[in-house]
Structure 1
Amino acid sequence: MHWQRARRHLARTSLALAGSALASGLAVLLALQLSACAPTDQLASLPSAAPGAREFNVAVLYYDYDDPYVGSIRTALSSDLAHAGVPYEEYDAGNSQSNQDQQVDQALQGGASVLVVNIVTSGNAEVADKVCLKAEAAGVPVVFFNRPVEGEGDEGAILDYYDDVAFVGTDPEAAGRLQGELIGTYLVEHYQEVDLDGDGRISYALFKGEAGNPEAIFRTKYAVERADEILEASGRPDLVYFDENSVDHYQLDLTGSWSAASAHDYMREDLLRLGQGRDGMIELVIANNDSMAAGAIKALQEVGYNLGTPGSTTIPVFGVDASATGRQLISQGVMAGTVSQDPDETAACMCSMVLNARRGQDLLAGLDAYPRDEKDGLSRAVFIPCSIFEPEPSGEGVADAGPDAAGASAGAAS
C-alpha cells in the first residue's frame, strides 16, 4: 500500500502549507462565501469564524436523501443527536461524489467537530482517503457508515491507518447468507408451487445494486450459494439463472443507486423477452435490497402476477433492509421475505461515537459489545447484526407504502 503513504505525505504537506498561508484571511473569506450561498433564514445560524468560538457540532453527510434505508438511519440519528443535545448540520450529496467532496470542505471550513459520512463512492479507499486527509488536517474525527470505504484487496487501507476514524455498518457477508437461508428454507417448503414450468428446477433473476460495493458483491454471491446449500441438503438441484447466456448471473443497476426503477425496467424486459407463459418462466426474484424488490414486484403486477388476490400466481421475491415498503409488501402477501438491518441501532452506535468525540475519548470507547470485522482483522469496523425479518402474525406494514413506492432509490450499504 505504498501509494497511500506517498500520496498522504504529499497531501499533508500541501494542506499544512495552504493552511498556514490562508489562516489570516480564512475568517473573512468564509463569512463572504457562506453569506453569498446561504438562504436568508440560515444566516442567523452561521458559525463564528473566530478560533474556538463555535460549540461542538456534527456534520452528517448523506450520499442520497432519496435512499429509503439511509432515510431511516437519518431519521433515527437526527432524533438521537437532538436528544443528546448535539447540534448538527445535514448535507445531501444527491449520489454525486463531487458534491460530497465540496460538502466536506464546507463542513470543515464551517468548524465541524466531527464528520459523519455516508460516502457516495463505496468500496474505494482512495476516495475515502481524501476525506480522511482533510479531516486529519483539521483535527476532526470521521465516522463512516452504511457504505463500505474499502474494497477487496484494500482492507485496512483506511481503518488500520487512521487513529481517529471508524466505520459503522453490517458484515457484508451476513445479509447475503441470511437472505440465502430465507430463500432456501422457503423453497424447500414450497418447491412444487414455485416450480411453475414443472421442470424440477427453480430459475431465478437477481438484481445487484452497485458494482464495487462489497455488500452488493457478497449479497449477490452468498444469497445464491447459501440457498443452494439448503436445496442440496434436501435433495433438490441448485438454482439456475434464467438467462443461460449470462456470464454474471445478475443484472446491475448501472446508476449505482440500488434503484427500484432499475429493477422494474430489467424485470419488465425479462418478462417481455420470455413471454408470459410458464415455460422458461422466472420463478424466483432475488434483490440486493427492498427497493429493487419493490421495482420487480411492480413489473410482475403489470403482467398479472403478485396481485395478492385469491387464485393469482405469486413469484417469490426476496429483498434486504426490512424497509417500510418491504414490510408492507410482505404484509400484502406479494413479497416473500427480507433481511433486517436495524437503522435505529446503527444510529445509536454512531451517536455514541459522536458523544465519545465530544468527551475527547476514542471513538470506540465503551462500544466493546458490538462485533468487529474479525475476518479482515479491522478493530475499527463496527458491525450491526443482521437478522431475518419476522412479521407480526397480523402482518406488519406502513400505510401508503406499496409497489408504487418503487420509484424511490434504494438503500443499502445500503
Structure 2
Amino acid sequence: MKKFVSKMLAGALGLSMLCGVAAAEGETYVSWYTFGDVYLSSVRTALDAAMEAKGLTVVDKDSNANQQTQTDDINTALVTGANAVVVNLVESGAIGTAETLMNAIKEKDVPAVFFNRAVSTDNNEAAELFKGYEKSAFIGTDFTQAGIMQGKMIGEYVLEHFDEIDLNHDGKISYVMFKGDEANQEAIARTKYGVECADEVLTAAGKPALEFYDASNANKYLVDLNGTWSNTASFDYMQTILAQYNEANNNMVEVVICNNDDMALGAINALVNAGYNLPGGEGCTVIPVFGVDATDAAKELIANKQMTGSIKQDAEGMADAVATITANLIAGKDKFEGLNENYEVVDGWTVNIPYSVYTGE
C-alpha cells in the first residue's frame, strides 16, 4: 500500500513540474511550510548561508501553507535528482503525511531532514518514523519550553509591576491570548503554559491568577482561523477588542500574550492606533505585550518600549543544525558529527535547539 501511494504521488507530478521550482540532480531541496512566516524567513536566510558554506547548492520552495503543494513539489524534487530533501512540514502533527513523504524519500535513498514543525502529536510515533530510516533526522525544540519560559517571564513581570498594570484597580489582571494555529502542537503548548506558568508565579506570591478579558470565551484564547500565526489576525482581533474593552469603559485588557512575535506586532499596531504603546512609551499607557521568536521587528519594538519581552527561538541555531546534519548525511558521515555542543541530541533521531528569554540588550 505504501509503495502504491508513493507511485501515485510520483505520477501526479507532470503539472506541478511546469509551475514549481524543481531541484536539479545533486541539489539540496528545502521545502518550506510558507515564505510568509517571519521567523521562518530568518531561518531560511541563515540556512541558505549555512548550506552554501558547506558546499551545498540549495533550492528553496514555498508550499504556501498547502500540504498537497508540498507533497507534489517534494516528489518532483525526488524525480529530478535532489541529493537530499529538507522538510518544514505544512501539516504539523500529521504523522500520516510525514510517513508518506518519508517513504517517498527513502525509496530514492537520499537523506530526509525534517525541522521546526512537529511530525506527530505522539513522540513515540515520531521516534518510530525516524528510527525506521537511518538517513533521517528531526531538528526542533522542546516546544513546551517556549510557553513555560514565556509564562514565567510574564508572571515575574506582572508581579513586579502589578499596581501599574492593574489599570482599573480591581486587584486582578485581565489578559488576551492570541493563538497562532488551532491544531499546531507548539501553539497548543504556548497557549497552555504561557498562562499556567504565569499563574503559578502570581499565586505563589499571593496574587490572583490572570483573568481572561471575556468571561464568555470558554477557550480563553483567540485563534488565527487561517492557522498562519499572522499579525493581520491579531490586529483585527485587538482592534475589535479595543472598541469595547478600554480605559474609558474601565475594563481595558491589561496584558497581551501572543504565540509569536508577528501576532505581537499586529496587536501592538492596533494598540498604537488607539493611542497606546507609542514609541518611547512616553505620554501614553503602555500595555505589556509578550511574544515568542525574538525577531528583529520584536527586538526593535522592545527597544522602543512598545513591547515587553519575547522568547528567543534561535533561527541561526536551527539553520546551523539543519545544515550540519544534512551535509553529514549527504557525505555518509555520522549525522551528528560536528554538531554544536549546546544543541541537545535526544534518542538518536532528534535535536533540540534551546530557547532563551529576551527583554532587550
What TM-score do you get using the length of structure 1 for normalisation?
0.81
How far the C-alpha of 1:200 sits from its partner, in A, is 0.5
Match for residue 281 of structure 1?
Answer: 252
Matched, 1:385 2:354: yes
1:142 to 89, 112, 135: 112
* Structure number, greater radius of gyration: 1
Measured in 2, the distance between the counterparts of 1:118 and 1:372 equals: 19
1:373-412 equivalences in 2 (<5 Å): 373=346, 378-392=347-361
Match for residue 322 of structure 1?
Answer: 294
Measured in 2, the distance between the counterparts of 1:222 and 1:62 equals: 27
1:262 to 218, 233, 238: 233
1:121-270 equivalences in 2 (<5 Å): 121-152=91-122, 154-270=125-241
The gaps in structure 2 that reach 5 residues or longer are none
Does the CA-based 8 Å contact 1:149-1:158 persist in structure 2? no
Q: Match for 1:317: what amino acid?
A: V
How far the C-alpha of 1:57 sits from its partner, in A, is 2.5
> Which deviates more from structure 2 when the two are superposed, residues 149-158 or residues 233-242?
149-158
How far the C-alpha of 1:390 sits from its partner, in A, is 4.2
Q: Match for 1:147: what amino acid?
A: R
Match for residue 11 of structure 1?
Answer: 2
Measured in 2, the distance between the counterparts of 1:14 and 1:59 equals: 21
Q: Match for 1:216: what amino acid?
A: A
Measured in 2, the distance between the counterparts of 1:37 and 1:210 equals: 28
Q: How many residues align?
A: 357
Q: Match for 2:320: what amino acid?
A: A
Does the CA-based 8 Å contact 1:145-1:168 persist in structure 2? yes
| Identical counterparts, % of pairs | 38
2:344 to 350, 368, 371: 371
1:10-29 equivalences in 2 (<5 Å): 10-12=1-3, 15=6
Measured in 2, the distance between the counterparts of 1:126 and 1:184 equals: 38
Does the CA-based 8 Å contact 1:305-1:313 persist in structure 2? yes
Measured in 1, the distance between the counterparts of 2:20 and 2:107 equals: 25
Q: Match for 1:145: what amino acid?
A: F
Task: After superposition, give the CA deviation of every residue in 1:322-355 in whole Å (9 maximum; x if it has no partner).
Answer: 0011111101101000000111111111111111
- 3-state DSSP class of the match of 1:254? coil
Task: After superposition, give the CA deviation of every residue in 1:211-232 in whole Å (9 maximum; x if it has no partner).
Answer: 1111111111111111111111
Q: Mark the CA change 1:116 to 1:199 in structure 2 (over 3 Å): closer, same or farther.
A: same
Match for residue 57 of structure 2?
Answer: 87
Measured in 2, the distance between the counterparts of 1:189 and 1:18 equals: 56
- 3-state DSSP class of the match of 1:280? coil
Matched, 1:340 2:312: yes
- 3-state DSSP class of the match of 1:268? helix
Measured in 1, the distance between the counterparts of 2:322 and 2:286 equals: 40
How far the C-alpha of 1:60 sits from its partner, in A, is 0.6
How far the C-alpha of 1:121 sits from its partner, in A, is 1.1
Task: After superposition, give the CA deviation of every residue in 1:181-231 in whole Å (9 maximum; x if it has no partner).
Answer: 110111111100000010111010000001111111111111111111111
Match for residue 5 of structure 1?
Answer: none
Q: Mark the CA change 1:152 to 1:201 in structure 2 (over 3 Å): closer, same or farther.
A: farther
How far the C-alpha of 1:367 sits from its partner, in A, is 3.9
Matched, 1:97 2:70: no
- 3-state DSSP class of the match of 1:158? helix
Match for residue 7 of structure 1?
Answer: none
1:64 to 25, 34, 39: 34
> Which deviates more from structure 2 when the two are superposed, residues 267-276 or residues 216-225?
267-276
Measured in 1, the distance between the counterparts of 2:144 and 2:9 equals: 42
Match for residue 113 of structure 1?
Answer: 83
How far the C-alpha of 1:275 sits from its partner, in A, is 4.5
> Which deviates more from structure 2 when the two are superposed, residues 330-339 or residues 97-106?
97-106
Does the CA-based 8 Å contact 2:175-2:211 persist in structure 1? yes
- 3-state DSSP class of the match of 1:321? coil
Measured in 1, the distance between the counterparts of 2:103 and 2:253 equals: 48
- 3-state DSSP class of the match of 2:145? helix
- 3-state DSSP class of the match of 1:327? helix
- 3-state DSSP class of the match of 1:177? helix
Match for residue 406 of structure 1?
Answer: none
What TM-score do you get using the length of structure 2 for normalisation?
0.92
How far the C-alpha of 1:158 sits from its partner, in A, is 2.6
Measured in 1, the distance between the counterparts of 2:176 and 2:350 equals: 32
Matched, 1:76 2:46: yes
Q: Mark the CA change 1:211 to 1:390 in structure 2 (over 3 Å): closer, same or farther.
A: same
Q: Mark the CA change 1:356 to 1:93 in structure 2 (over 3 Å): closer, same or farther.
A: same
How far the C-alpha of 1:286 sits from its partner, in A, is 0.3
Matched, 1:310 2:301: no
The gaps in structure 1 that reach 5 residues or longer are 1-9, 23-28, 48-53, 393-414
Does the CA-based 8 Å contact 2:246-2:253 persist in structure 1? no
How far the C-alpha of 1:113 sits from its partner, in A, is 1.2
Measured in 2, the distance between the counterparts of 1:129 and 1:166 equals: 13
- 3-state DSSP class of the match of 1:89? strand
Match for residue 410 of structure 1?
Answer: none
Q: What RMSD, in angstroms, separates the aligned Cα atoms of the two structures?
A: 2.4
Measured in 2, the distance between the counterparts of 1:273 and 1:18 equals: 50
- 3-state DSSP class of the match of 1:61? strand
1:359 to 328, 331, 341: 331
- 3-state DSSP class of the match of 1:159? helix
Q: Match for 1:251: what amino acid?
A: L
